[in-house]
Amino acid sequence: MLSAAARTALRSRRFSTKAVEGFTGAVGTTPLIYLKHLSEKTGSSIFGKAEFQNPGGSVKDRAALGLLQDAEEQGILKPGGTVVEGTAGNTGIGLAHVCRAKGYKCVIFMPNTQSQEKIDLLRMLGAEVHPVPAVAYENPQNYNHQARDYAAAHPNTLWTNQFDNTANARVHFRTTGPEIWEQMGGKIDGFVCSAGTGGTLAGTGKYLTEQSGGHTKIGVADPPGSVLAGYFKTKEFNRSGTSITEGIGQGRITDNFATCLGFLSWATTIPDEKTIEMLYELLDTEGLYLGASSALNVVGAVELARSLGKGSRVVTILADGAYRYQSRLFSKKWLESKGLEGAIPNHLKKYVVL
Ligand code: PMP
């Protein structure tokens, strides 16, 4: 017989006592982490959804599974079929995992500027990888268009089209949104995150907007060089600037992002200096080893919390861990090459170990 304290502890854990079925059963139901030090410093309550705990290591496991389940339900992906996608990172890794688990062939087109580690990982996960010249979206040789063309030329082959297939946002509406709402006990003043496809922001934001009757303020946090925050503010596209962040920022309004324009009510652009400082601060104070998009998201959450006032409760997404980027983010030479070494306060420089 468990003590009352042990029962409470068990209830508050992420894991149910039941086993889940396979890789796909382990996607989602991630913990929501109260960021203690940052919350005390800000005077608000800041929470991060630990998407790095998904079995493929990122928030994109949800999209990969959602896109494939939707295609199966529509009958456009049949047993023994092939899945093709244009992706430079986490979506490809998520798709490669889910394809192995479900028995599909996985074909990935990616820009040839990507790291050898990513190519190796995708191949280790059984994917057929086609590195192609890194050319702009407008060019027919762009990796996304090559993925589309591959699907058109091969039988029983699905192009998942993560940017413009809104099954991506819908999986976040069904899973990420409800999980956050429940974990926050229905008390949530703000939700903010960055967007690549926009699926996470649109799906989660829509659910929280509906559940809160419009109370939860939904915001986008953008890296430099992305048009989304500027478009929200002025309806203009400004592509100037670049960022060290990977997997986020966008040069156009994707169909997934378009679905959040009706309820998006706040936007910010975060300079890389703030992102990198937060990345090291989260490591130092919270013990979290996160990728740059997560750090940018947390800067956005602090800004939104400040604009909502003391005591506000704000949630963001911790999209993945630093493991896929450590040779960059923790390298003195790389940080110097990006002009970012000076952005790291002296007491945090001890983490620059490579
Ligand atoms: N962070 C990281 C690290 C990512 O790889 C992505 C997806 N490319 C995102 C955030 C953004 O997610 P979404 O595509 O749902 O906008």
d(CA 260, CA 203): 8
pLDDT digits (tens, 9 = 90+) for 127-149: 999 999 989 888 999 999 999 99
The residues that are catalytic are 60
pLDDT digits (tens, 9 = 90+) for 90-119: 999 999 999 999 999 999 999 988 888 889
- Give the pLDDT score at 13: 47
Mutation choice for ligand 1 from 54, 60, 256, CB with most ligand atoms inside 8 A? 60
Phi/psi at 141 (nearest 5 deg)?
Answer: -85, 0
CA–centroid distance, residue 15 to ligand 1 (Å): 25
CA–centroid distance, residue 197 to ligand 1 (Å): 7
Mean pLDDT value across the chain:
94
pLDDT band, very low/low/confident/very high, at 47 (cuts 50, 70, 90):
very high
DSSP structure string for 138-163: TSTTSHHHHHHHHHHHSTTEEE--TT
For ligand 1, atom 5, which residue shows the shortest CA distance?
247
For residue 200, the ligand 1 atom closest to its alpha carbon is 15
Check: CB of residue 63 under 8 Å from CB of residue 199. Answer: yes
Q: Is the pLDDT of residue 6 over 80?
A: no
- Find the helix or strand (DSSP H, E) in which 352 lies: none
Please give all residues whose beta carbon lies within 6 A of any atom in ligand 1, as ranges: 58-60, 89-90, 194-201, 247-248, 291, 293, 319-320
CA–centroid distance, residue 1 to ligand 1 (Å): 44
- What ipTM was estimated for this complex? 0.99
Check: CB of residue 272 under 8 Å from CB of residue 340. Answer: yes
